[in-house]
Structure 1
């Protein structure tokens, strides 16, 4: 339970970074939502890996391999969000900002399980 709390708190910092960068790239710079999502999520993944390796899972061995696994798990979040963009933004006309925010709890839950069982096992 302690790990889940730490993962969620660290995830909060990643969510904030992800959302701020996404909003800036998509709304301010006019970047396509899928490209903005890939960039913002990559920054958040890197932030979260560093903090989770240190504080949540307390692992300092095989960091490069663990980062590659963590990033692969992060790619599942990018893919899931992109599928939601296609279905909800492109398909139904729902605002991309709402889709991005709405996808975050689902992505967080999926990634916690995958990271606990694979990236930091």
Structure 2
């Protein structure tokens, strides 16, 4: 059930990410720059929704945001590398390549956020 909620909240974040990416890219921004802009917006949206709805955490907001952003940095690195490989090596259209990276990054970030960011025992210990 928790993964389903994560996917729903994350879906809203991913939709935000892709919408901003698509608009920025189609308006002339370099695909990696558009990826960074969309990823940041989607990450902030996802944090807000997942903190409250998926993991039910209302404490230590700044600490959890920092951890979420650290996990997002790992996810962004994975996203950027996958995007680069798809666009540069496999010649996939950047709009399609971005879509292909999303499922892999979602699973990676769920695992890390569940273990690190929204682990109530770990957050209380620090």
The CA distance in 2 between the partners of 1:8 and 1:93, in whole Å, is: 29
The CA distance in 1 between the partners of 2:21 and 2:77, in whole Å, is: 15
Could you tell me which runs of 5 or more consecutive residues in structure 1 were left unpaired when the two chains were aligned. none
1:40 and 2:43 aligned: no
Q: Deviation at 1:98?
A: 1.3
1:18 and 2:17 aligned: yes
Q: Which residue of structure 2 aligns with residue 73 of structure 1? A: 71
- Length-normalised TM-score, structure 1: 0.94
- Deviation string 1:6-44 (CA, Å, 9 cap, x unpaired) is 1010011011111111000001x2101111111101001
- Length-normalised TM-score, structure 2: 0.90
Matches within 5 A, 1:85-100: 85-100=83-98
Q: Alignment length, in residue pairs? A: 119
RMSD of aligned alpha carbons:
0.9
Could you tell me which runs of 5 or more consecutive residues in structure 2 were left unpaired when the two chains were aligned. 120-126
